[in-house]
Amino acid sequence: MATIGISEKKLLEAALKAMDKAYVLWGFRVGAAVLAADKQIYEGCNVESWISGLGICAERCSINHAVLHGNRKIRQIAIVAEKNDYEEPTPCGMCMQYINDFAVNSKIKIVMANVENDKILIKSVKVKMLEEMMPFPFKK
């Protein structure tokens, strides 16, 4: 379990609220929230499609939400998932690249947690730096 501060907790709570809106056909509910350059929080949820790959992950949904509001830089991201296997909900490779594309720097925190019975499992909270999770991002 990671020690988390007020800002991490606030982001996790926002991600949890967003998870409620997830559109799930075959997977599981995921919520995300980013702290953007304007210091506001922008949420996202996964939106699935019957066509594999057509939907969007919660992480990219939350970043798109921030971009829509004029933010192209994110300072932190939280991800929560309702899963039964108790593995932490790490972002997929596409989202890792997307987070990297919009992060203020490679040291931003990625806060991850599982959700059970609509509550964040505090013991499941993990905090990693972006560069720890994606040391060699693609750059043109």
Closest approach, Cβ 57 to Zn ion, in A, equals 3
Q: Does 57 bind Zn ion (CB under 5 A)?
A: yes
Interatomic CA distance for residues 120 and 102, integer angstroms: 26
State the sign of the Cα–Cα–Cα–Cα dihedral 16, 111, 116, 87.
positive
Instruction: Quickly tell me which residue has 């599981």 as its tokens.
Output: 28
The smaller minimum CB distance to Zn ion, of residues 7 and 97, is found at: 97
Q: Pairing between strand 74-81 and 109-116? A: parallel
Closest approach, Cβ 5 to Zn ion, in A, equals 25
Q: 8, 43, 48, 59: which is the annotated catalytic residue?
A: 59
The smaller minimum CB distance to Zn ion, of residues 14 and 95, is found at: 95
Active site residue 59: yes
Binding mask 78-97 for Zn ion (x = CB under 5 A): --------------x--x--
For 18-36, give the secondary structure using H, E and C. Answer: HHCCCECCCCCCEEEEEEE
- Applying CB under 5 A, the residues found at the interface with Zn ion are 57, 92, 95
